[in-house]
Amino acid sequence: MMKGIKKWRLFALMTTLLVFLAGCGREEISTLIPAGKVAQDQFNLLILSSVVMLFVIIVVSIIFVLAIVKFRRSKMGEDMIPEQVEGSARLEFLWTAVPIVLLLILAVPTVYSTFDLADVSTMDVQTEDGNSSHLTVNVTGKLYWWEFEYPEQGIVTAQELVVPTDERVYFNLISADIKHSFWIPSIGGKLDVNPENVNTFYLEFDQESSELEDGVFYGKCAELCGPSHALMDFKVKSVDREEFDQWVTAMQEEPTPAEDAVAQEGQELFEQSCIACHATSGVGGTGGVGPNLATFGDRNRIAGYLEHDEENLKNWIADPQEYKPGNLMPDPESLNDGEPFTEQQLDSLAAYLMGLTVEE
């Protein structure tokens, strides 16, 4: 047993070391590096509860270690019969009362924060000129992508949420099919995206995503929704208010037609095969069959998770099921007169799509 305790110590030491070596994860996605008010509140609760719980663990550990070291049979003697103690009312009171006090310490901030984070009463408050004082985004979860509608601005985008920093952003969440869950770990906790009701909450983005190594925060679907649940990622660009307003204006303009020959060829093909599901103008509302592609060239990923390059884009168009099993994008054959897209067609589509941009 002594050997066992040594092993256990060594193991505990190694684990602790490893945790420190690997740090707190990546700033784009870790709840341990909060980048918004909501995540910060939740992180504070994590620290508070961890400290209280550490106290419990230390008390239990001390009694535990003393007991198993002091009262071993090898020390007490083979034949020793211990006194048959019945119990102690005083001790029972002690270890009922102390945990209750500890729980009260946790209960107060819990209740406060529960109501605080659910407070969406300022959502519909209007400024003097009749506009909403806060941005609202309508989020629709679909197999396996995300649609972001900005109803006040009359624009819609997909897969990449663009938000202003340092202000409250309200979200209305609903699913168009299976239940999903909307989660941006470094910005705030998740809220389920139910098929039968709209869930509303707010988040705040206190850091511009351009400061991050990858330039975007990572968003996730957190509720099992089918084979490609793991790939139902989205990205978040947080920009300052000025830049956000510029982006909105750019979104509201009609897209410019493709200029070079290859991209024009791609546009023609796109308008025959893809436009039925994918809009290329940012103006509009929710309800797209496929993701809106107005900002496609600006995005950080293909299909939500693949590196953003033409190679991946062509692979994805040529065989969507290979990259996101169970997704609802039709086979290329069904769009292209029963033939797979040729390499040339894929090149032109990629050139066209990469040219869809609203940023300078």
Partner 1 sequence: MSSIAQKKGFGATIWDFMTTVDHKKIAILYLISGGFFFLVGGLEAMLIRVQLATAGNDFLSAGTYNEIITMHGTTMIFLAAMPILLAFMNAIMPLQIGARDVAFPFLNSLGFWLFFFGGIFLNLSWFMGGAPDAGWTNYASLALASEGHGIDFYSLGLTISGFGTLIAGINFLVTIINMRAPGMTYMRMPLFTWTTFVASALILLAFPPLTVGLFFMVFDRMFGASFFAVEMGGNTIIWEHLFWIFGHPEVYILILPAFGIFSEIFAIFSRKRLFGYTALVFATILIGFYGFMVWAHHMFTVGLGPTANAVFALATMIIAVPTGIKIFNWLLTIWGGNISFTTPMIYAVAFIPSFVAGGVTGVMQAIAPLDYQLHDSYFIVAHFHYVIVGGVVLAILAGTHLYWPKMFGTMLSEKLGKWTFWFFFIGFHLTFFIQHFLGLMGMPRRVYTFGADQGWDLFNAISSAGAVLMAIGVIILLVNVVMTSIKNERVGNDPWGDGRTLEWAIASPPPFYNFAQTPLVRGLDTFWIEKMDGNKKGMIYAEPLGDIHMPNGSIIPFVISLGMFIASFGALYFLDGDKPWALAVLIIGLVITFGSMLVRSLKDDLGFHITKAELLEDAKGGNTDGH
Contacts of 319 (CB under 8 A, 6+ apart): 332
- Pick from 61, 126, 272, 344: which binds partner 1 (CB under 8 A)? 61
302 in contact with partner 1 (CB under 8 A): no
Q: Which of 261, 207, 264, 267 is nearest to 237 (CA)?
A: 207
83 in contact with partner 1 (CB under 8 A): yes
Comparing CB distances to partner 1, the nearer of 116 and 331 is: 116
Q: Which of 188, 187, 189, 191 is nearest to 139 (CA)?
A: 191
- Pick from 136, 140, 169, 185: which binds partner 1 (CB under 8 A)? 185
Minimum CB separation from partner 1 for residue 49, in Å? Answer: 5
Burial of 282 (0-12, 13-18, 19+ CB in 10 A): buried
Length, in residues, of the chain = 360
**First and final C-alpha spacing in the chain:** 68
Comparing CB distances to partner 1, the nearer of 222 and 239 is: 222
Q: Are strands 199-204 and 168-175 parallel, antiparallel or unpaired?
A: antiparallel
Stretch that binds partner 1, among 88-96, 131-139, 153-161, 266-274 (CB under 8 A): 88-96
The token pair that represents 351 in the structure block: 């050139």
Residue in this structure with the two tokens 């209007």, named with its chain if needed: 126
What's the one-letter identity of residue 245? D
| Radius of gyration, CA atoms only, the chain | 28
Stretch that binds partner 1, among 11-19, 146-154, 239-247, 248-256 (CB under 8 A): 11-19
**Residues between 14 and 53 with contacts to partner 1, criterion CB under 8 A:** 15, 18-19, 22-26, 28-32, 39, 41-42, 45-46, 49-50, 53
101 in contact with partner 1 (CB under 8 A): no
96 in contact with partner 1 (CB under 8 A): yes
The C-alpha atoms of residue 346 and residue 161 are separated, in whole angstroms, by: 27
Minimum CB separation from partner 1 for residue 255, in Å? Answer: 30
76 in contact with partner 1 (CB under 8 A): yes
Peptide bond before 352: cis, by omega within 30 degrees of 0? no
118 in contact with partner 1 (CB under 8 A): yes
Whole-Å CA distances, 315 to 23, 302, 310, 323, 332: 35, 10, 9, 8, 11
71 in contact with partner 1 (CB under 8 A): yes
Q: Which of 138, 162, 141, 134 is nearest to 151 (CA)?
A: 138
- Pick from 13, 95, 126, 309: which binds partner 1 (CB under 8 A)? 95
The C-alpha atoms of residue 277 and residue 284 are separated, in whole angstroms, by: 14
**Residues between 250 and 269 with contacts to partner 1, criterion CB under 8 A:** none
Whole-Å CA distances, 183 to 35, 69, 189: 14, 47, 6
- Pick from 148, 171, 296, 305: which binds partner 1 (CB under 8 A)? 305
Comparing CB distances to partner 1, the nearer of 31 and 136 is: 31
**Residues between 213 and 232 with contacts to partner 1, criterion CB under 8 A:** 214, 218, 220-231
Sheet holding 145-150, edge to edge: 155-158, 145-150, 135-142, 168-175, 199-204
Comparing CB distances to partner 1, the nearer of 56 and 275 is: 56
Minimum CB separation from partner 1 for residue 137, in Å? Answer: 16
358 in contact with partner 1 (CB under 8 A): no
Comparing CB distances to partner 1, the nearer of 80 and 125 is: 80
- Pick from 40, 199, 246, 281: which binds partner 1 (CB under 8 A)? 199
The token pair that represents 337 in the structure block: 């007169």
Stretch that binds partner 1, among 171-179, 251-259, 267-275, 337-345 (CB under 8 A): 171-179
Minimum CB separation from partner 1 for residue 131, in Å? Answer: 27
